[in-house]
Amino acid sequence: MSDTITLEGLEFFTLIGDLPHERTTPQPLELDVEVRADLAPAGRSDRLDDSLDYRLLYRAVAEAVEDRAEGAPHLLEAIAERVAGRLLALKGVEGVRVRCRKPKAVLPGPVAKVEIEIERP
């Protein structure tokens, strides 16, 4: 059985995109993450040590978004995979869902946002 912790509406300003100006000009990026884990021990003990600290989850997402070791990602799919990988590496995380939005996507017509969603074990 898995329970879920959700961090919704995380906002970053970063390089993301494939167009020339997107490779040099940071732009807004929004993420929601759902982390599946067994939260029953924390519910019984009321101790943070028995749960996943939300600050660690946030830090894992921020590090994935801001890490330039692999270069700035071109695709939302790539940033979502990076985020999922960082979260899955945390002790107790059984699975994740990552939604990644680009509210200022450059398209030939009006669009409020572009969003992708991935789910990993």
Residue 89, helix vs strand vs coil: coil
User: Which secondary-structure segment (H or E) carries 120?
Assistant: strand 114-120
The tens digit of pLDDT for each residue in 60-92 reads 999 999 987 778 899 999 999 999 999 999 999
Indicate the Cα dihedral angle 63, 106, 100, 86, nearest 10°: -30
Q: Per-residue DSSP letters for 23-85?
A: GTS-EEEEEEEEEEE--HHHHHH--GGGS--HHHHHHHHHHHHH--TT---SSHHHHHHHHHH
Provide the domain count of the chain.
1
Neighbours of 24 (CB within 10 A): 10
CA distances from 80 to 3, 22, 34, 35 (A): 21, 17, 12, 13
Domain hosting residue 48, numbered range: 3-120
Q: Which CATH number characterizes residue 101's domain?
A: 3.30.1130.10
Catalytically active residues, by annotation? 102
pLDDT at position 106 over 90: no
Determine what percent of the chain is predicted with pLDDT higher than 70. Answer: 99
Confidence bin at 21 (pLDDT 50/70/90): confident
